[in-house]
């Protein structure tokens, strides 16, 4: 049987895929293990997604790694997650670099432990000239907060006379988001069976295709990723037009 990777057309690839990596806790629970066990097994699934993306040259991949709401989890889980993120970054830095990936981090970085923040910013810095692809980690990220920050920055520019109200359009607004210079999301995938957005990229997914998978994140493999791309390619993206207009 043909694999999904072979079925994908190289013409109509999404430019930007974003993933809500959900279900680590349930994956662990179903095995009678602690939530930490699930988070540890999530790392291989992250590699699978990054590698799959790299193999077919999708230029932007955003991974929802830790939300602004996740700070409300029990303190020991937050600490475990921060340690895991930090260790994984150290271990994977070379691989990210040799793959030619440019790292970006979006979110309220001030809330991160200093070590994690410094590591992230270092990785962002040393990969800034890489051109093969972009890996964006959403860390301490909340979309409503991102939008509010943009509104505050724009308001202060108006107040200071640097910007006219009439000149505020979609482009100006986007330039004040964390995702400035990153194209809109074409495909949003969420694992774990939950059908919600959980405060992720609300502006950027305005016209994204949405896919909700019943698998739990630690089980996510490369073929799952390729299947998402295959399904994406079988959708007609009309952007408000009629089907006939697209022919």
Output the residue with the shortest Cβ distance to ligand IPE: 25
Interacting residues toward ligand IPE by CB under 6 A? 20-26, 64-67, 69-70, 81, 192, 194, 196, 198
22 is an active site residue: yes
Listed residue (186, 234, 238, 187) closest to 211, CA to CA: 187
| SS3 of residue 151 by DSSP | helix
Q: Rank residues 134 and 192 by Cβ distance to ligand IPE and give the closer one.
A: 192
Q: Which residue has the tokens 């990596």?
A: 21
- Taking the complex as a whole, how short is the minimal distance between the CB of residue 146 and ligand IPE, in angstroms? 14
Interaction partner, residue 64 (Mg ion, ligand IPE, none; CB < 5-8 Å by kind): ligand IPE
- Taking the complex as a whole, how short is the minimal distance between the CB of residue 22 and Mg ion, in angstroms? 4
Report how far residue 43's alpha carbon sits from residue 139's, in angstroms, rounded to the nearest whole number: 15
CA 85 remoteness from chain centre? 15
- Taking the complex as a whole, how short is the minimal distance between the CB of residue 139 and Mg ion, in angstroms? 16
Interaction partner, residue 65 (ligand IPE, Mg ion, none; CB < 5-8 Å by kind): ligand IPE
Interacting residues toward Mg ion by CB under 5 A? 22
Q: Is 108 left (phi over 0), alpha (psi -120 to 50) or beta?
A: beta
Calculate the alpha carbon distances from 155 to 39, 106, 149, 152 in Å.
40, 21, 10, 5
- Taking the complex as a whole, how short is the minimal distance between the CB of residue 218 and Mg ion, in angstroms? 12
Interaction partner, residue 70 (ligand IPE, Mg ion, none; CB < 5-8 Å by kind): ligand IPE
Q: Which residue has the tokens 């079988």?
A: 234
| Active-site entry in 70, 130, 145, 199 | 70
Main-chain dihedrals φ then ψ at residue 58, nearest 5 degrees: -90, 120
């Amino acid at each position: 049987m043909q694999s999904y990777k072979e079925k994908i057309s190289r013409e109509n690839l999404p430019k930007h895929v974003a993933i809500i990596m959900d279900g680590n806790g349930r994956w662990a629970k179903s095995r009678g293990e602690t939530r930490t066990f699930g988070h540890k097994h999530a790392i291989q699934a992250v590699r699978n997604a990054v590698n799959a993306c790299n193999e077919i040259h999708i230029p932007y991949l955003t991974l929802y790694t830790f939300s602004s709401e996740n700070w409300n989890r029990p303190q020991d889980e937050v600490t475990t997650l921060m340690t895991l993120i930090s260790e994984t970054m150290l271990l994977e830095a070379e691989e990210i670099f040799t793959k030619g990936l440019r790292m970006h981090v979006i979110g309220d970085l001030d809330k991160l432990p200093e070590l994690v923040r410094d590591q992230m910013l270092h990785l962002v810095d040393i990969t800034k000239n890489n051109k093969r692809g972009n890996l964006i980690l959403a860390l301490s990220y909340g979309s409503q907060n991102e939008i509010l920050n943009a509104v505050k920055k724009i308001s202060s520019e108006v107040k200071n006379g640097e910007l006219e109200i009439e000149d505020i359009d979609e482009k100006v607004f986007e330039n004040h988001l964390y995702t400035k210079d990153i194209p809109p999301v074409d495909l949003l995938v969420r694992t774990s069976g939950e059908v919600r957005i959980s405060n992720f990229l609300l502006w950027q997914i305005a016209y994204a295709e949405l896919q909700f998978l019943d698998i739990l994140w630690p089980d996510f493999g490369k073929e799952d990723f390729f299947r998402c791309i295959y399904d994406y390619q079988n959708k007609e993206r009309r952007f408000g037009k009629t089907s006939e207009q697209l022919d």
